[in-house]
Chain A
Amino acid sequence: MLGLAGWVTFWVFFAVFVFLGFYGARWRRGNLNLLHEWALAGRRLGIALAWFLIGADLYTAYTFVAVPSLVFAKGAYAFFAVPYVAITFAIAMLLMTILWDRSRERGYITAADFVQDQFNSVTLALLVALTGIVAELPYIALQIDGMRAVLEVMMAGMSSATTVSEVALVVAFIILAAFTYTSGLRGSALGAVLKDALIWLGVISLIVIVPLSIKGGFSTAFSIAAQHKLPTGVETLKPVFLAAYESTFIGSALALYLYPHAVNGSLSAESRKALRYSTALLPLYGIGLALLPLLGILVYGSPSALKLLSEFPASERGLLAIPALAATSLPAWFAGLVLLGIFVGGMVPAAIMAIAQANLLVRNVIKPFYRLSERGETRAAQWASVAFKFLALGFVFVTPLTYALQLQLTGGVIILQTLPPVFLRLLTRKMEKYSLMAGWAAGMLSGILLLVYANHFGPIKTTLYPLFGHPFYIGMIALAINLAVVGLGTGIAYALGWRPR
């Protein structure tokens, strides 16, 4: 349980965060009745803000709750997050700058806009848009899990802690929905700066203070962790997980910029140059991401954190690991700040993701079938962003806190199936649209079947499936099937006389 000073700093800075969220509406003022002003902050983010905003997409509850929890529970495999962030920015530098150029030329706001224009197909764009909306839901749910983990640690030991934390979560969501509605992406961009300052402060202080407070520092924590025989290895990765490690980081790296929120973030950059430089510098952001999994190991060396965790069911302990470490090893007022960082670290990305979903729904699902004025388009998106947030919140209340990272990896399996019409189209025109639809269907079907099968028809605990005796990330298996169908279909189309426009 967090001391009083911690509660004070938590709520004071939460108030500052909320102020920034609403103040965003006035900042670099634009006509918020226009969708690109509301959803892309008028495309006016320079190198620094684009860096923060795109970093905020990456630096989410995924990073400071889900990845450390997977290290805590499974060991070295979870470190795939590090090569993932390095490689994803190489991909983004190449592809997102091309998309940025085309979007500026042709007025695209979403990846589905691009698909619709390039293939002249409402159906294919609809598939891409719906895939994006669905894939984003488990990712938002993961953010909410992170926020819930913070509240549970803050209230540990209190009577009726679960009810109170659920009420607090709902209240936080109403506030979030209100400022996303009024300020759009501007509110999130400003909130992201505060959030990042708090997160960096938290990561750096924890990584310095915790090892110093443990006798023998990291060596002790690693050797205690080794005694727990984590399944994928502790000091190194067990060789049998090589394929799992590599296919997961490649799959995650390919998936990130297919997510609607990452497309949205990239298109909000003020220039191609700002986007290129901020992307090139983003791996630096990943260093904090690399330190967090190490904290998942350090928990094993901290008796007070382990004691706090022992009050919770074993299955939830992983997710609570970092909040518990902050609450037990830092002075209360400071722990309050760090916990707030983790809390808003779930809120900001959840807002950005819901904005991106709303864009897709309005532009690519509703608009082709129902005429909307510019103002009506923006209103619809604002309300949709509210609806999506509460949909995800409902999702969280009915699923257990465990295996949060698998939520994101499940989203990855789904979103990867849009790679051919989006990423490949940026590089080549030689793909035929019906083959892309067939490839999408084959990839989606095989991905979902493998997920269901690998988890024995139960809740999703793994996103790996063994091939030739080695586990592989299901997203990559499904993408390979998808690509094979696209290639085959396009080959047949060529044979029948089809030629790229």
Chain B
Amino acid sequence: MGGLTTGEKVAIAVLLLIPVVFYMVYPAYNYASPELLGVPFFYWFQTLWLAISAVLFTVAAVIWERGLSREEKR
């Protein structure tokens, strides 16, 4: 991870860790309601977080690759 500024490293770490923390904090999603189209909260909310994870990871990837390409140009 050489070449990244401390700020970038922290941002990447936070973005990657958010979904991990969410899924570990089980009281955040182990409910039956509110339901979505008859599907209990437990199922649809965890699924929604897959899309959220993809967004967070993509932002992290952009920060990361930008930092590295700046380094390579130097």
Contacts and interface: CB of A to CB of B under 8 A. Distances in A.
Interface of A: 76, 79, 82-83, 85-87, 89-90, 93-94, 211, 216-222, 235-237, 239, 242, 245-246, 249, 272-273, 276-277, 279-284, 286-287, 290-291, 293-294
Contacts of A237: 26, 30, 42
Given A87-B20, A90-B57, A235-B40, A287 B26 contact: no
A443 B38 CA distance: 43
Contacts of A222: 38-40
B5 interface: no
Interface of B: 16-17, 19-20, 23-24, 26, 30-32, 35, 37-40, 42-43, 46-47, 49-51, 53-54, 57-58, 60-61, 64-65, 68
A284 B50 contact: yes
Contacts of B26: 237, 242, 245-246
Interface centre among B24, B37, B54, B68 (most CB of A within 10 A): B54
B40 A236 contact: yes
Nearest to B13: A94
A216 B35 CA distance: 13
A93 B58 CA distance: 10
A276 B54 contact: no
A235 B61 contact: no
Nearest to A76: B42
B50 A218 contact: no
A217 B43 CA distance: 15
Give 6 nearest A-B pairs by CB, closest first: A218-B38, A219-B38, A83-B23, A280-B57, A290-B47, A235-B32
Given A246-B24, A280-B61, A287 B43 contact: no
Contacts of B61: 93, 276-277, 279-280
Contact of A235 (B23, B42, B47, B65): B42
A269 to B, nearest CB: 13
Given A90-B20, A236-B31, A276-B64, A79 B42 contact: yes
Contacts of A217: 37-38
